[in-house]
Amino acid sequence: MNDDAKDVEQIRSGNVDAFSNLMDRHYSIVCGIISRRGVRDFDDAAQETFIKAYRQLDSLDNPEKFAGWLYRIAFNVSMDFHRKKALNVSRIDTDIVEASPAGSDIIPDRSIIREESGQKVRDAMLELPEHYYLALTLRFYEQLSIDEVAERLGVPAGTVKSQIHRGLKLLAERLGSAGESGLFSN
């Protein structure tokens, strides 16, 4: 039984203090998942993630798979934050366009171009199905090994490899070419 499963069982037995162990163990990755999805209020979203996890803990069938279950909740909470944000985005975009000077010929420097490329990758990542997004985020942003990703998501290592391969392929398609982002080079 892994540490997460032990803590889940303690919580189910009435020791609610054991939940702080789960929070300490997973907080940074939950924040990483949320912030990489473009949520600026990632502390609020992380807090909401842990509240939902605590309230729904009885629905977790296999305590050994707590980490993957929690990361899926974080993914869904970040989507909820995006939906709330989307209500205001069109108004803000219109304000920005109206405020920018007409015929502006400012040539961006390399850091701006690099930032825009990174934003294109982040935007493309947001469009990926949840399982690809989580596998890629844990592997490349959190720098976990394939085996660590598999353990966190509660799936076999072969499944993680497949999800990473297919996720990268989808990213390449969404970006227009594999070389555009530099992400896919050796």
Query: Domain residues of the chain, as ranges?
Result: 1-106, 109-186
Helix ranges (DSSP H) in 14-156: 19-36, 42-55, 66-99, 110-126, 130-136, 146-153
Do 78 and 37 touch, CB atoms closer than 8 A?
yes
CATH class of 109-186: mainly alpha
The model scores a pTM over 0.85 = no
CATH code for residues 1-106: 1.10.1740.10
The phi and psi torsions of 114 (rounded to 5 degrees) equal -60, -40
Question: Could you give the maximum distance between any two Cα atoms of the chain, in Å?
Answer: 66
Q: What is the pLDDT of residues 91-135, one digit of tens each?
A: 433 443 343 344 444 334 444 445 556 677 777 887 888 889 889
| Rounded Cα gap, residues 92 and 22, in angstroms | 38
Do 1-106 and 109-186 have matching folds? no
